[in-house]
Amino acid sequence: MQPAILSIARETLASPIRNAVLARAGYSVIPAFSAASALKILHQRHVCAIIIAHCVPDHDCRLLCTEAHRRGVPSVVLDPYEQVGSDRHELHVSPLEGPQGLLDALASLIVRNRECASWDNTARLWECPPRGSRKPCARSTKKSSLARVARA
């Protein structure tokens, strides 16, 4: 099953392109064109992360990030000023970094959110089987260097 990403934007030009890039990268994209519709989707569906475009007003952006944080969903905010997020569940990325910058930020945030502590307090990642497999996710038996980077 593909990770579901809630993509929030009010613009009609860049958001379809961004959503196509995300879909091409293997994500299932749920578009929302207002904060109200995004909140409704957050309450009804499970999403792995949300992406908030720079055109979303600050008040709505803060509201969405707060609700996502409350639900344990990480947020990527496209912000040309790259402000520092309020916690580890929020990441501000400049839209000028292009598609690869967005995909890298999204992947690192999802990995960071999926971390868990094992019985011996060693940071490990959940490893999910390839798409199409019916096996459940299982703990990795090896320590991941990405887990150490994500915590730094």
- Domains of the chain in start order, with CATH, are 4-151 (3.40.50.2300)
Comparing 40-49, 67-76, 138-147, which segment has the lowest mean pLDDT?
A: 138-147
Mean pLDDT, rounded, for 11-20: 90
Residue whose tokens read 């992947």: 107
pLDDT computed for residue 21 by the predictor: 95
Sequence-ordered list of residues with C-beta below 8 angstroms from that of 63, at least 6 positions apart, any chain: 35, 39
Give 50 or 134, the one with higher predicted confidence: 50
pLDDT computed for residue 86 by the predictor: 54
pLDDT for 139 beyond 50: no
Residue whose tokens read 């320590």: 143
pLDDT for 7 beyond 90: yes
pLDDT band (50, 70, 90) for residue 142: very low
**Is 0.85 surpassed by the pTM of this model?**
no
Residues 88, 63: contact at Cβ < 8 Å? Answer: no
